[in-house]
Chains A and B, each alone.
Chain A
Amino acid sequence: MAMASSEKSHSAPADASWWRGFLRGLARSWAFLLFFAGFFLFWQYAIDLFGIPAYILPRPSEIVTRGWADIDRLLYYTYVTAVESLLGYLVAIVIAVPLGLSIAFSSFLRRTIYPFFVSLEMTPKIAFAPLFISWLGFGLLPKVIIVFLVCFFPVVLNAILAFGSLSEELVRFIRATGASPWRAFFRVRLPAALPQCFVGFKYAAINATVGATIAEFIGSDQGLGFYIQIVTGNMRPDLAFAGIFLLTLLGLALFGAVTLVERWVIPWHISQRRSR
C-alpha cells in the first residue's frame, strides 16, 4: 500500500501540466524576480536622483525605446555574433573531446601535449586576437578561431579529467568481466565521463560570446562587439547598453541550450536530479 502511493507521487510531476510547473517555478523564484525588478527600478530613478547625464548612463526605459528604434541592425548583429560564437564553440568541442580522450588514455600524449596545454591554459588566449586579425583580416574566420581558442581549453582539460578519473572499483569491475575496450568504453567509460565533460562545455559556453565580442572589438565591420564600440564612440551609451543586453541574452541562450542538452543526456546525474 505504502509502495503504491510512493509510486504515484514519484510520477506525478511528469504528468503535471506545463503551466503548473511554470507557476511553481515562479513561486520559487519570486525573491530573484523581485530583486531583478528592484535593481532596474533603482537604476531608473537613481539617474534623476543623482542627476547623472544621459551620455554617461542612460535610463533603462531609454535603453529599451532607443534600442527598439535600431532593432533591425541590432538583431542582424546579434545573428552575426551568434554565428561566430556557435561555430567556434562547436569546432572546439568536436576537436577537444576526442583530443582529451586520447590524452587521457595515452601516457605518451600525457607526457607531451598535456603539459603544453596546461601551460597554454595560463596564457590569456585573447592576447592572440590582434595577431589573428592581422593575419586573417576582418572576416568570419579570425573570429571563429578566437572563439575556438577561448572554448578549446576548458573543454579539453575537463575531458582529460573526465576520461581519466573513472573510479578504481569500476576499472576493476571492467577488467574482471574481460570486456573489450569498445564495450567498456560505450557502456561505462563514456557515460561516466559525461558529467565532467559538461562542466567544460558549460564553461566554454560562457567564454564563447566573450571571445566573439573581443574579436569584434579588435577588428570587425559587423557584430555586436563592433556595434558597441561604434555607438560608444558616438556618445550613445543607450545603444551600447542595448547591445550589451542582447549579448547577455545570447550568452544565456547558449548556456541554456547546453544545460538543456545536459539534462537530456545525463538525467541521472546528481546535478540534474530535482529532489521533491
Chain B
Amino acid sequence: MTAAAIEIRSATKTYASGIEAIHAFGPSSLSVGPGEFISLVGPSGCGKSTLMLMIAGLLDCTSGEIDVGGHVVTAPETSIGIMFQDNTLVPWRTVRGNIELQIELRGLPVAQYRSTVDRLISSVKLDDFADRYPYELSGGMQQRAAFCQTLVHRPQVLLLDEPLGKLDAMTREAIRRDLQALWLADRPTVIFVTHSIEEAIQLSTRVCVISPRPGKIERVIDIDLPWPRDLAIKRSEKFSAYASKIEEIFHGYGVL
C-alpha cells in the first residue's frame, strides 16, 4: 500500500476575525493517493480556498491536521505548486519574467529552466505574448500565464484554485484538454477547485462535493470513465448520470 500524497484528518478552520469568528471549514477528512486528480465543487464561500491554503501550509488548521508527502504540514509546503484564485502576476514583469519569478524566488538557476519556460508558454499558446506585460493580456491570457507560473518548477502536487475561472467557454475547453494531457503524461497529484460540475467530472478521478458553509466534504464520488475524456464522453449516458447525481446533492442543499 502506497502512502497517501495528501491526507486530511478532521481538519477545521475557524477565522477569528471581526466581531464574530467565522467557522469556514470542516471537520472533514480525505485521503488522496499519488497521481489522483481530485476536484472540489461547492457553493461560493464554502471553504474551498481555505482548504487549499491549509494543504499548502499557508494557513494553520484550527484543529485536525494535514499530511503532504508523508509529513504533517506545519510550514509553507514549498515542494508543491499552487495557483491562487487571484493570479499572482506582477505588473513589472513580462509573461516570461513572471514565470521565471517562480524560479528566481526559489533560488533556482533560471538558465536551466529556459526551455521549460518556452515549452510551457507555447503549450498555452502565449508565444506571441511572452514578452508582453500582464496589462497587455486579456483576463484569460493572464490566467494561462499564471498557470505556467504554477507549473514551471515541476511540482508533483498541484493545488489549482479555479484556474479556469475567468476563461471563455472555448478557451476553457482547450485548456481543460491541455490540463488533462499534462496530468495523463506526468501524473502529478492534483487538487482542483471549480464551480463547473461538468468540468469536475471530465477531469477527475474523484469529485468531492462540499456542503455550504461551514463546508464539509460530504460526498466523494468516484468517476469511473475511460481516459482521455473528450467531448464524446461528455455526451455519454454515464457522464450525465454523474452530473445529475451531483446536481441533486446541491439541490438538496438548496443552492441549485
Chain A positions near chain B (C-beta within 8 angstroms): 3, 167, 169-170, 172-180, 183-184, 187-188, 191-192, 266, 268-270, 273
Chain A residues with CB under 8 Å of B87's CB are 169
List residues 42-94 of chain B with CB under 8 A from any CB of chain A.
Answer: 53, 56, 58, 76-78, 80, 82, 84-88, 90-92
Q: How many A-B residue pairs have CB under 8 A?
A: 63
Q: B149's closest neighbor in chain A, by CB?
A: A173
A176 to B86, Cβ gap below 8 A?
Answer: no
Known contacts A170-B90, A172-B84: does B101 contact A187 (CB below 8 Å)? yes
Cα separation A268 to B95 with both chains bound (whole Å) = 13
B105 to A270, Cβ gap below 8 A?
Answer: no
A176 to B58, Cβ gap below 8 A?
Answer: yes
B84 to A266, Cβ gap below 8 A?
Answer: no
B135 to A173, Cβ gap below 8 A?
Answer: no
Chain B positions near chain A (C-beta within 8 angstroms): 53, 56, 58, 76-78, 80, 82, 84-88, 90-92, 101-102, 104-107, 128, 133, 135
Partner of B135, one of A176, A191, A273: A273
Prevailing SS type, chain A contact patch: helix
Known contacts A169-B84, A172-B53, A173-B84: does B91 contact A269 (CB below 8 Å)? yes
Cα separation A184 to B56 with both chains bound (whole Å) = 19
Chain B residues with CB under 8 Å of A187's CB are 101, 104-105
Cα separation A178 to B103 with both chains bound (whole Å) = 11
A184 to chain B, nearest CB (A): 7
Prevailing SS type, chain B contact patch: loop
Chain B residues with CB under 8 Å of A192's CB are 90
Q: A269's closest neighbor in chain B, by CB?
A: B91
Chain B residues with CB under 8 Å of A269's CB are 91-92
Q: A266's closest neighbor in chain B, by CB?
A: B92
Chain A residues with CB under 8 Å of B85's CB are 169
Chain A residues with CB under 8 Å of B128's CB are 3
Chain B residues with CB under 8 Å of A178's CB are 76, 78, 105-106
Q: B58's closest neighbor in chain A, by CB?
A: A172
Cα separation A172 to B133 with both chains bound (whole Å) = 22
Q: Other than A173-B84, A174-B105, A187-B101, give 8 A-B pairs with Cβ distance below 8 A.
A: A169-B85, A176-B58, A176-B76, A178-B78, A179-B105, A268-B135, A270-B135, A273-B135
Q: B76's closest neighbor in chain A, by CB?
A: A175
Cα separation A191 to B85 with both chains bound (whole Å) = 22
Q: A172's closest neighbor in chain B, by CB?
A: B58
A177 to B90, Cβ gap below 8 A?
Answer: no
Cα separation A175 to B56 with both chains bound (whole Å) = 10
B107 to A170, Cβ gap below 8 A?
Answer: no
Q: A174's closest neighbor in chain B, by CB?
A: B105
Chain A residues with CB under 8 Å of B82's CB are 172, 176
Chain B residues with CB under 8 Å of A184's CB are 105
Chain A residues with CB under 8 Å of B92's CB are 191, 266, 268-269
Chain B residues with CB under 8 Å of A191's CB are 90, 92
B106 to A169, Cβ gap below 8 A?
Answer: no
Partner of A183, one of B86, B91, B107, B135: B107
Chain B residues with CB under 8 Å of A266's CB are 92
